[in-house]
């Protein structure tokens, strides 16, 4: 990671940075939805996935900032808190170090990003910094990260597999094109959720054990997919008898979890 982006102090002094962080929190659900599928993949699909949050140390040396916004990886999330591992070495704070386990409120998130095949999604604060750079500085910045951030004014939040189209009269090779309609659909439902539907139905025909099984946190599959916004999976689970009234150890139903990130299609299914 490029160190200049790793740590941002006193974001409250920068209204544009605050606005970028607000947008990151508003769209964080897409990050968590992607992570819900990453943890199911046999072969990882993400090059990088991290969330930026503020950390505070009131015992820093006089004159040094007492807050640093740093990146956290290996993210887990219950909708209220996120848990992970600190990626950065603090510049000033002394009460935390790179590699430490952390647990922070989701409401404190200041940015998120993931990358697939070198292409970055999210990264609101990073792109704000990039927008303030000259073209040369931006190129050097992206080379330092080793990632494609794209246009800093056009932040993408969902991955859509590009289609290869031939150039004019086939003279200029092939060009990758993203279908706007596919991107719109991907915001509503993750393609893997749709693709997994049939295999899930077959599995449930053989055994309904997964409908009632709970993981080490006391969550059912319905809980997990409701929080992640996987409407196709939620619909199938409900049709095969999943109990939507079951609660997590913290007292949340699947509907409560869907409401945290505002997944309208899932909320509708669980409200019927």
Q: Which two tokens stand for residue 168?
A: 């004019």
The residues that bridge with 82 in the sheet, in sequence order, are 77, 104
Residues 56 and 131 in one domain: yes
Convert the pLDDT of each residue in 206-240 to its tens digit: 999 999 999 999 999 999 999 999 999 999 999 99
| Residue 182 included in any domain | no
Convert the pLDDT of each residue in 148-168 to its tens digit: 999 999 999 999 887 766 555
Residues 248 and 130 in one domain: no
| Residue 58 included in any domain | yes
**Residue 45: C-alpha distances to residues 14, 36, 169, 258 (Å):** 34, 12, 34, 25
**Per-residue pLDDT at 9 exceeds 60:** no
Domain end residue (candidates: 90, 114, 145):
145
Secondary structure element (H or E) that encloses residue 159, with its range = none
**Per-residue pLDDT at 10 exceeds 90:** no
3-state secondary structure of 219: coil
Q: Which of 229, 217, 230, 237 is nearest to 259 (CA)?
A: 229
Q: Which two tokens stand for residue 47?
A: 């090059």
Q: Where are the beta strands (DSSP E) in 109-168?
A: 111-116, 119-122, 163-166
Query: What's the sign of the alpha-carbon dihedral 171, 154, 80, 110?
Result: positive
Residues 11 and 78 in one domain: yes
Residues 117 and 210 in one domain: no
pLDDT at site 254 = 99
Q: Which two tokens stand for residue 186?
A: 């991907």
Q: Which two tokens stand for residue 197?
A: 């539907």
What own/partner pairs with CB < 8 Å and gap ≥ 24 does 39-45 have? 40/192, 45/116
Residues 193 and 141 in one domain: no
Whole-number average pLDDT of the chain: 91
pLDDT at site 168 = 52
| Residue 163 included in any domain | no
| Residue 253 included in any domain | yes
| Residue 167 included in any domain | no
Residues 14 and 73 in one domain: yes
Residues 8 and 132 in one domain: yes
The residues that bridge with 132 in the sheet, in sequence order, are none
Residues 95 and 200 in one domain: no
Q: How far apart are CA 29 and CA 22, in angstroms?
A: 13
Residue whose entry in the numeric block shows the structure tokens 């292409």: 119
For position 209, which CATH number holds? 1.25.40.20
| Residue 226 included in any domain | yes
Convert the pLDDT of each residue in 26-51 to its tens digit: 999 999 999 999 999 999 999 999 99
Q: How far apart are CA 227 and CA 29, in angstroms?
A: 9
3-state secondary structure of 11: helix
**How many domains is the chain partitioned into structurally?**
2
**Per-residue pLDDT at 58 exceeds 90:** no
End-to-end CA distance of the chain: 46
Average the pLDDT over 181-189 and give the result.
91
The residues that bridge with 169 in the sheet, in sequence order, are none
Q: Quickly state the pLDDT bin for 169 (edges 50, 70, 90).
A: very low
Convert the pLDDT of each residue in 98-108 to its tens digit: 999 999 999 99
| Residue 97 included in any domain | yes
Residues 100 and 37 in one domain: yes
Range of the domain at 69: 3-145
Residues 65 and 117 in one domain: yes
Residues 141 and 230 in one domain: no
| Residue 176 included in any domain | no
Residue whose entry in the numeric block shows the structure tokens 């599959």: 221
Residues 202 and 121 in one domain: no
**Per-residue pLDDT at 189 exceeds 80:** yes
């Amino acid at each position: 990671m490029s160190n200049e982006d790793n740590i941002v102090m006193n974001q409250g002094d920068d209204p544009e940075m605050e606005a970028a962080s607000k947008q990151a929190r508003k769209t964080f659900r897409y990050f968590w939805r992607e992570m819900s599928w990453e943890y199911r993949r046999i072969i990882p699909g993400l090059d990088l996935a991290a969330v930026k949050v503020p950390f505070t140390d009131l015992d820093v040396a006089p004159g040094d900032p007492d807050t640093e916004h740093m990146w956290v990886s290996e993210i887990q999330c219950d909708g209220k808190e996120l848990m992970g591992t600190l990626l950065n070495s603090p510049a000033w704070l002394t009460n935390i170090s790179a590699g430490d386990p952390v647990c922070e409120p989701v409401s404190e998130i200041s940015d998120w990003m993931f990358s697939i095949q070198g292409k970055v999604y999210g990264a609101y604060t990073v792109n704000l910094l990039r927008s303030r750079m000259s073209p040369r500085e931006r190129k050097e910045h992206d080379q330092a990260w080793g990632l494609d951030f794209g246009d800093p004014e056009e932040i993408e939040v969902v991955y859509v597999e590009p289609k290869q189209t031939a150039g004019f009269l086939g003279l200029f090779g092939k060009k990758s094109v993203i279908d706007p309609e596919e991107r719109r659909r991907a915001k509503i439902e993750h393609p893997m959720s749709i693709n997994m539907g049939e295999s899930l139905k077959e599995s449930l025909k053989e055994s309904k054990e997964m409908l009632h099984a709970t993981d080490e946190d006391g969550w059912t599959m319905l809980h997990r997919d409701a929080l992640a916004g996987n409407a196709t999976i939620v619909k199938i689970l409900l049709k095969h008898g999943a109990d939507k009234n079951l609660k997590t150890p913290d007292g949340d139903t699947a509907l409560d979890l869907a409401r945290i990130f505002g997944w309208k299609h899932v909320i509708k299914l669980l409200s019927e």
